[in-house]
A and B are shown apart, each in its own frame.
With several copies, the nearest count.
Chain A
């Protein structure tokens, strides 16, 4: 599955995107975040406040309890500051 990161989430993780093989038992966005945080301190830092980081699946905003089955691309980013 492709993961993409933006703004300070991207900077903290240290890469703009990556392809990951997600292990079984990871059903929701929140599950995915918990698993990512086991992968290293850069992920722990990026997701240190899980409530702040937003997610999108295939270009659509989703909540942490959204299921990830069938997703092609999952994005994580800070609250938006455009406009």
Chain B
């Protein structure tokens, strides 16, 4: 199984990616699609700026995907992460995990997101509607805890 890993500025289409993964096959029993979206933080956010480390972002997502494939019997795995300026309501990240049964698909998608949050080299900064550029978003302690539950 080859995981699809993409880092891009353009929006992604979850339906199209799911079709690419499942079209013409009947061995997949479960697909979990996780979409992470840009929130407007109660109306104060104009956009989210996402910086990334080109080269390492792809490499790290590929390593995380390989760990998921070792751990669960997956039939498909797609990870797409955007960078650049993202507007409220738009998707930031898409994870698709396909398997014969639901447990593997749910767990693999959840694992991917937990690991991605703490290990994939992306950084967020808020641009506010009043024209100011907010601080870099701080990492959450609970994200580290979420990643550690898979250890």
Contact = CB atoms under 8 A, between A and B. Distances in A.
Interface in B52-82: 52-53, 55-56, 59-60, 81
Interface stretch (B12-20, B39-47, B117-125): B117-125
B36 to A, nearest CB: 6
Contacts, number: 72
B137 interface: yes
Given A81-B136, A83-B36, A83-B117, A75 B123 contact: no
B52 A82 contact: yes
Interface residues of A, number: 16
Contacts of B36: 83
Interface of B: 36, 50-53, 55-56, 59-60, 81, 92-93, 102, 113, 116-125, 136-139
